[in-house]
Amino acid sequence: MNERPLNPWYSDETPSFLEHLYRGELRWDLISRFPRQDPADREAGDRALTAFSDLLRERVDPVEVDATGVLPPELPEALAAGGFDRLQVPPSLGGLGLSALNTFRVVEAAAGWSMPTAQILSVQNTIGVGPFLPALPPGPLRDTVEARTRSGVFSGNGDTEPQGAANHKRFTTATPTEDGAAFLLNGEKVFTGNAPIAAMVNVTATVREGDSERVRLFFVDTDSPGFRVSAHHEFMGLKGFPSGALTFEDVRVPAHMMMVEGEHNRRLTPELYRRLVVGRVHTIGAPSLAFSRLCLEWARDFVNRRQIDERPLGSYDEIQRNVADTLSEVFALETLTQWCLLAEDQVPANPGFEQVAAKNLTSLTAWRVVERTMALYGAEGYETERSKARRGVPPVPLERAFREARGLRISGGVDFMMDIWMAHKAVFWCYYPLPANAEAIEAEPDLSCLDEADLTEANLDHLRFAVTGTKTFARTCLELARRYPDQDELFEQERLLIPLTQIGNELLLMSLVLGRTSSLGTSGPQSTQDLADVYCAQARLRIADAWRRHHAADSPAASRAAGQWLSGERWADLLPDMPGDASPAGK
Ligand X SMILES: Cc1cc2nc3c(=O)[nH]c(=O)nc-3n(C[C@H](O)[C@H](O)[C@H](O)COP(=O)(O)OP(=O)(O)OC[C@H]3O[C@@H](n4cnc5c(N)ncnc54)[C@H](O)[C@@H]3O)c2cc1C
Q: What is the DSSP letter of 203?
A: E
Is 8 a binding residue for ligand X by CB under 6 A? The answer is: no
In Å, what is the CA distance from 136 to each residue of 7, 56, 147?
23, 32, 13
Is 37 a binding residue for ligand X by CB under 6 A? The answer is: no
State which of residues 34, 84, 191, 302 lies at the interface with ligand X (CB under 6 A): 191
Nearer to ligand X, 114 or 243 (CB): 243
For residue 378, is it left (φ>0), alpha (ψ between -120 and 50) or beta?
left
- The rounded Cα 423 to chain-centroid distance in angstroms is 16
Q: What is the DSSP string of 6-62?
A: --TT--SSS--HHHHHHTT---HHHHSS-----HHHHHHHHHHHHHHHHHHHHH--H
> Can you tell me the distance from the alpha carbon of 173 to that of 207, in angstroms, rounded to the nearest whole number?
6
Is 504 a binding residue for ligand X by CB under 6 A? The answer is: no
Nearer to ligand X, 280 or 516 (CB): 280
Give the CB-nearest residue to ligand X. 164
State which of residues 235, 353, 377, 465 lies at the interface with ligand X (CB under 6 A): 235
Q: What is the DSSP string of 289-337?
A: HHHHHHHHHHHHHHHHT-EETTEEGGGSHHHHHHHHHHHHHHHHHHHHH
Give min distance, CB of 241 to ligand X, in A. 7
Say what angle helices 286-304 and 115-126 make with each other, to 10 degrees. Answer: 160
Instruction: Draw the binding track, 419-458, toward ligand X (x: CB under 6 A; -: no contact).
Output: -x--------------------------------------
Is 197 a binding residue for ligand X by CB under 6 A? The answer is: no
Is 166 a binding residue for ligand X by CB under 6 A? The answer is: yes
Nearer to ligand X, 26 or 200 (CB): 200
> Can you tell me the distance from the alpha carbon of 357 to that of 505, in angstroms, rounded to the nearest whole number?
6
In Å, what is the CA distance from 144 to each residue of 136, 155, 225?
11, 13, 18
Nearer to ligand X, 363 or 518 (CB): 363
> Can you tell me the distance from the alpha carbon of 336 to that of 530, in angstroms, rounded to the nearest whole number?
18
Q: What are phi and psi of 465, to 5 degrees?
A: -60, -45
State which of residues 165, 313, 324, 440 lies at the interface with ligand X (CB under 6 A): 165
Is 22 a binding residue for ligand X by CB under 6 A? The answer is: no
State which of residues 156, 196, 287, 445 lies at the interface with ligand X (CB under 6 A): 156
- The rounded Cα 68 to chain-centroid distance in angstroms is 28
> Can you tell me the distance from the alpha carbon of 322 to that of 286, in angstroms, rounded to the nearest whole number?
22
Is 152 a binding residue for ligand X by CB under 6 A? The answer is: no
- Nearest Cα to Cα of residue 248 among 170, 188, 163: 188
User: Residue 351 carries which side chain, given as an amino acid letter?
Assistant: P
Judged by CB under 6 A, the chain residues 348 through 407 that form the site for ligand X are 407
Is 160 a binding residue for ligand X by CB under 6 A? The answer is: yes
> Can you tell me the distance from the alpha carbon of 305 to that of 380, in angstroms, rounded to the nearest whole number?
13
**What distance, in Å, lies between the first and last C-alpha atoms of the chain?**
61
Give min distance, CB of 414 to ligand X, in A. 4
Is 215 a binding residue for ligand X by CB under 6 A? The answer is: no
Give min distance, CB of 234 to ligand X, in A. 10
Nearer to ligand X, 245 or 466 (CB): 245
Is 505 a binding residue for ligand X by CB under 6 A? The answer is: no
Give min distance, CB of 157 to ligand X, in A. 5
Decide if 96 contacts 89 (C-beta within 8 A).
yes
Give min distance, CB of 444 to ligand X, in A. 37
Q: Where are the beta strands (DSSP E) in 400-549?
A: none
- The region of 82-90, 138-146, 378-386, 410-418 touching ligand X under the rule CB under 6 A is 410-418
Is 499 a binding residue for ligand X by CB under 6 A? The answer is: no
- The region of 155-163, 387-395, 426-434, 570-578 touching ligand X under the rule CB under 6 A is 155-163
State which of residues 130, 152, 158, 279 lies at the interface with ligand X (CB under 6 A): 158
- The count of residues in the chain is 587
Instruction: Draw the binding track, 112-141, toward ligand X (x: CB under 6 A; -: no contact).
Output: -----------x------------------
Decide if 398 contacts 373 (C-beta within 8 A).
yes
Is 277 a binding residue for ligand X by CB under 6 A? The answer is: no
Is 231 a binding residue for ligand X by CB under 6 A? The answer is: no
Is 562 a binding residue for ligand X by CB under 6 A? The answer is: no
Give min distance, CB of 430 to ligand X, in A. 21
How many residues bind to ligand X according to rule CB under 6 A?
Answer: 25
Is 414 a binding residue for ligand X by CB under 6 A? The answer is: yes
Decide if 275 contacts 126 (C-beta within 8 A).
yes
State which of residues 114, 124, 144, 192 lies at the interface with ligand X (CB under 6 A): 192
Is 102 a binding residue for ligand X by CB under 6 A? The answer is: no
Binding site for ligand X (CB under 6 A): 123, 156-160, 164-166, 191-193, 235, 238, 243, 407, 410-414, 416-417, 420, 494
